[in-house]
Chains A and B, each alone.
Chain A
Amino acid sequence: MVRNPVVRDLREPKHIPVIPVPTVFIPAQMRNLTRGVAQVVVAGDTVAAVVDELEAQFPGIRQRLCHGDSLAPGLQVSVDSTVTLRGLRSKLQPGSEVHFLPAFGGG
């Protein structure tokens, strides 16, 4: 398990190399918990695992993202370009992007 994840700053969004672990995009309203950092490279094969890693580095972020074993109400997870339905159980590939978005339906 990676204990010292590489913490990447947002100011160079176009220069992210392909890296063998997932990248979590921190919602703008939670960046105060990550010292302003917008993307965090962190190992894990599920969203739950990367949230655990994030909490270890940035205490307090888990209670914003989760309620118990589920995503916080009003949130959904997108892995790369796919909004997943499996929430914290969603599986990740090396190089996956993880985004936390407002939940929405349709009409």
Chain B
Amino acid sequence: MTTQNELYLGKPSYSVLGRRPVRHDGADKVTGKALYTADVNLPNMAHGKIVRSPHAHARIKSIVVSEALKVPGVFAVVTGKDWPDLKDKVAVMGEAGTVNLMHLGANCLAIDKVLYKGHAVAAVAAVNAHVAEEAARRIRVDYQVLPSVTWVLDAMKDDAPLLHPDLHTDSMGKKADKPSNVAVHLQFEKGNIADGFKLADLVVEREFRTASVHQGYIEPHAVVAMWNEDNRLKIWTATQGAFNCRQQTAELLQISISQVLVVPCEIGGGFGGKIAVYLEPVAALLSRQCGRPVKMVMQRNEVFEGTGPTPGSFIRLKLGAKNDGTLVAGEAWLAYDCGAFPGGMIGPGCMCVFSCYDLPNARVNGYDVLNNKPKTQAYRAPGSTQAAFACEQIVDELALKLGIDPIEFRLRNAAKEGTRRVDGPVYPRVGLVECLRAAQNSDHWKSPLTGKNRGRGVASGFWFNIGGASSCSASVNDDGIVNLVEGSTDIGGTRTSIAMQLAETLGISAEDVRPQVGDTDSVGYTFLTGGSRVTFATGLAAYKLGLDLQEQMKQRAAAIWECDPAAVQVLNGVYNHLGRSLTFKQIAAKIAEHKLDPVMGQASVTPEGSTNSFGVHIADVQVDPETGKTTILRYTAIQDAGKAVHPSYVEGQMQGGAVQGIGWALNEEYFFDAKDQMRNASFLDYRMPTCLDVPMIETIIVEVPNPSHPFGVRGVGETPIVPPPATIANAIQRATGVRMSELPISPARLWKALAGQAEEDGPEPCGERSS
């Protein structure tokens, strides 16, 4: 195995990491001063509104805007006709590879077809939002309604309505002959499953279904775009990646990236849903047309219907084990929605499905399927939760039937360093076994659970840490405070974790670093905030920045002492030479006094994705058989963080992801009617957990250092959403004897299963009608 990524320093103790300083942006956030995009107000600013399709699938015959333009106070109207020619244009966008610009543009403003209810078809800019809404109502769109389809299996049928008649299934580079809604077919194979299953004493196979769910960030998408008279476009936006946003917007408008400045405002949640652009290029087109800055803020129903939920899915999964619990073979068949345009999550779904286990023989077939739902986007470990819902329940069933403790069963088969995943790569040092043992030794697992209709479930989960470029720069003030500018938009408190890693490197306190997130003109290229990469990758950049600053401070000390810089020693932020010593702050104070060069440092890194984070969750539930309601009595999340930089924020990621997963498990779903229109596009009926729905979420942080980071840091943000639906389903099985294979396990569905009706009628697709 290559050792080129071995960076771990193996420090026995840390002076900053592991502490819990108050976050640097905290005072602004608790006093209401922090500026989120919708808080931005510019002189002469117009307000924009989008016109959206009421139909799930239709051809646009005509759009008449003349009546809208007559409304007093209307400044501009745009439609898909205002895009530059995007035909056959692709752009390389970081890890996502090439992006079809026609698809990206058409999703922001439809060009000739609408592919889901809520698909944007036109936009208006006016003096205020009320006038814009009035004008929007007067835009006449003539549609030719087409048949539509939302259930993934129906969309795969030969006679399903085709969303893109020119799209052929891609099987890792091989294109099929006929057009299809199946955009991608992937297959992975390891060993020989026919031989493998022959060795099994017990084989369990089941089918699972999950509904579309949304990331549910409380802040709707918002943007302010200002097309300036010097042909520069300035965008204030809620984004997980300012540089990514810049590139997408520039490509869609066919202008150079340097014409675009993206200012990432404080962001009210992302979870993967604020990576693709929706409003930015549209607001830019409006601004260019009317010569004013244009603000656009989505309403909540637009967020549900017009942005990117995670895939709904159908999964058939089979596992075989020997009587002693050793897994011998596995097979999975997964079909995931990708919604209106290709580019879904089937890849990681297939890679994660068996990722927690050492499985000698396995085959995985996965399909990305187009259907008349909004185009899917990443939602925290995209594709992994659905796959874990299936695999972890089959594992649970095997353990139950073989009479083996469910954690013990997992330990016997757990992925470790050297285990080969079904898609090929071998794991480096990972912490699943440590997490399982921590679960076994936890107070939760050891506490008895008694009472009727109560049960305890456990499940494990996996997600990657992706790589990608990160840049940061810093200057040292006269008072020794370090001003840090970094490029990772902060969706969870990372500016503080990055500041802490810089402080640790320099031997100063976290309070002596002032971090800020730079815009695309002020900081070097930084890849998006997502993929659990920031604390790891931008932290690595901060470490290198610290080394750069330290070198410069040595030189300043040497200038002050008139000695050779190589002779200056540094220890814990104190610089020494032959019995003389100066602290970091003391040197900083002397720089101006001695007329030395100001200290300014920089670092950029492009680490590769070499690590990952495993987690294990435990849940105790109580089911009310009269209502089907599941109450969570106790919940524990265990996860390998490598090294917890700021334990409160690591705990926060674990707790937040767990509760999102609880919502996914018990209530959340897109409910489509017979016309394939979403009927519950509001927080009233798209039921996310409130604080009354969940107990305290206990956390146990395991630390198995990541070899490819100097402090051993692993990204933790995404994995916590992977185990919860399976954990809860396993708990419900123990509580009731019924195994629920559909998400959400809503009260109505569980009640029916308990009453035995589901066994007679057969499972119903989750909230959707077969066409």
Which residues of A are interface residues toward B (Cβ below 8 A)? 10-11, 13-14, 25, 27-31, 38, 63-65, 70-76, 78-85, 93, 96-97, 99-107
Contacts and interface: CB of A to CB of B under 8 A. Distances in A.
A79 B608 CA distance: 10
Nearest to A39: B424
Nearest to A10: B191
Interface string B186-200: 111111100000000
A79 B420 CA distance: 13
B2 A82 contact: yes
A73 B275 CA distance: 19
Contacts of B188: 27-28
Contact of B273 (A25, A73, A74, A107): A107
B97 A74 contact: yes
A30 B188 CA distance: 10
A14 B426 CA distance: 12
A90 B393 CA distance: 39
B contact residues, range = 35 or more
A107 B271 contact: yes
A107 B382 contact: yes
B724 interface: no
B606 A28 contact: no
A105 B428 contact: no
> Looking at A10, A25, A31, A81, which has the most chain B CB atoms within 10 Å of its CB?
A81
Contacts of B350: 102
A99 B425 contact: yes
Nearest to A72: B173
A82 B609 contact: yes
Contacts of B356: none
A55 to B, nearest CB: 13
Interface of B: 1-2, 4-5, 90, 92, 94-98, 170-174, 184-192, 215, 270-273, 275, 345-348, 350-351, 360, 363, 377-383, 420, 423-428, 463-464, 466-468, 528, 530-533, 606, 608-610, 708, 718
A105 to B, nearest CB: 5
Contacts of B348: 102, 104
A29 B428 contact: no
Given A11-B192, A13-B190, A65-B173, A103 B609 contact: no
A37 B389 CA distance: 33
Contacts of A29: 171-172, 174, 185-187
Nearest to B99: A73
A36 B428 CA distance: 28
A102 to B, nearest CB: 3
Contacts of B98: 73-74
A28 B2 contact: no
26 contacts: A13-B360, A29-B185, A30-B173, A73-B98, A74-B347, A75-B172, A76-B95, A80-B426, A82-B708, A83-B610, A84-B608, A85-B95, A85-B606, A101-B423, A101-B425, A102-B186, A104-B382, A104-B464, A106-B272, A106-B378, A106-B466, A106-B530, A106-B718, A107-B271, A107-B272, A107-B273
A100 to B, nearest CB: 8
> Looking at A14, A93, A101, which has the most chain B CB atoms within 10 Å of its CB?
A101
A27 B422 CA distance: 11
B97 A28 contact: no
A11 B608 CA distance: 31
Contacts of A101: 347, 351, 423-425
Given A30-B172, A99-B425, A104 B718 contact: no
Given A28-B363, A64-B172, A76-B95, 11 more contacts: A28-B189, A29-B185, A75-B172, A82-B708, A101-B423, A103-B347, A104-B345, A105-B466, A105-B530, A106-B381, A106-B718
Contacts of A30: 172-173
A55 B402 CA distance: 48
Nearest to B184: A74
Contacts of A78: 424-425
A28 B427 CA distance: 20
A60 B523 CA distance: 43
Nearest to B1: A80
Given A13-B190, A28-B189, A85-B467, A107 B215 contact: yes
A94 to B, nearest CB: 10
A76 B468 CA distance: 13
Contacts of A74: 97-98, 170, 172, 184, 347
Given A74-B184, A81-B426, A83-B467, A105 B378 contact: yes
